[in-house]
């Protein structure tokens, strides 16, 4: 059984309690360790990510769920991020995001808390029909 380190706990500190519960339960049952890399984001941080092309929300004209207080979203990354020379950031390694996201979605369902994964925005079970692959992203629905 895995547990979160200080950085993940800190990132969760600015998140909605329902997201904290999901993360806390998911880490206990996940077959892969994962870290929470970001919860609440300032508008400045959001704009930086937008300028890098890593999000479609700029934090200026449009406010995202990461920008809410408490945050209605967090990002995760499977750990370690590279196994046998394959990074989770390479398409060949995306399957680890899929596995961990599946665990997170199952835990959220058990806790009766609807969430959406950035790898399957429309919730149809396929990431292949998405134009924006935000694999680390989990957000509360609604």
What pLDDT, on the 0 to 100 scale, is given for residue 133? 87
Longest dimension (CA), the chain: 42
Confidence band (pLDDT; 50, 70, 90) for 132? confident
Give the percent of the chain with pLDDT over 90. 89
Residue 109 pLDDT > 90: yes
Can you read off the two tokens belonging to residue 136?
Answer: 């680390």
Residue 26 pLDDT > 80: yes
Angle at 53 between CA 48 and CA 58, to 5 degrees: 50
Give the percent of the chain with pLDDT over 70. 100
Q: What are phi and psi of 79, to 5 degrees?
A: -125, 140
Can you read off the two tokens belonging to residue 28?
Answer: 């206990």
| Range 6-140 classified under CATH 3.40.50.970 | no
- Long-range CB pairs of 86-93 (<8 Å, 24+ gap) are 88/135
Confidence band (pLDDT; 50, 70, 90) for 37? very high
What pLDDT, on the 0 to 100 scale, is given for residue 131? 84
Residue 142 pLDDT > 80: no
pTM, entire model: 0.94
Q: What is the pLDDT of residues 51-100, one digit of tens each?
A: 998 888 999 999 999 999 999 999 999 999 999 999 999 999 999 999 99
* Domain segments of the chain as ranges: 6-140
Nearest to 118 by CA among 134, 101, 99, 139: 134
Residue showing tokens 């692959």: 133
């Amino acid at each position: 059984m895995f547990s979160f380190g200080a950085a993940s706990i800190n990132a969760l500190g600015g998140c909605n309690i329902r997201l904290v519960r999901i993360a806390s339960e998911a880490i206990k049952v996940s077959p892969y360790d994962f870290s929470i890399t970001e919860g609440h984001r300032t508008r400045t941080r959001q704009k930086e990510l937008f300028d890098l092309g890593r999000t479609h929300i700029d934090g200026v004209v449009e406010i995202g769920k990461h920008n809410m207080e408490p945050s209605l979203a967090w990002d995760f990354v499977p750990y370690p991020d590279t196994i046998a020379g394959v990074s989770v950031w390479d398409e060949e390694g995306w399957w680890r995001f899929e596995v961990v996201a599946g665990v997170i979605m199952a835990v959220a369902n058990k806790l009766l808390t609807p969430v959406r994964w950035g790898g399957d925005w429309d919730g149809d079970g396929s990431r292949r029909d998405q134009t924006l692959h935000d694999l680390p992203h989990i957000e509360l629905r609604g």
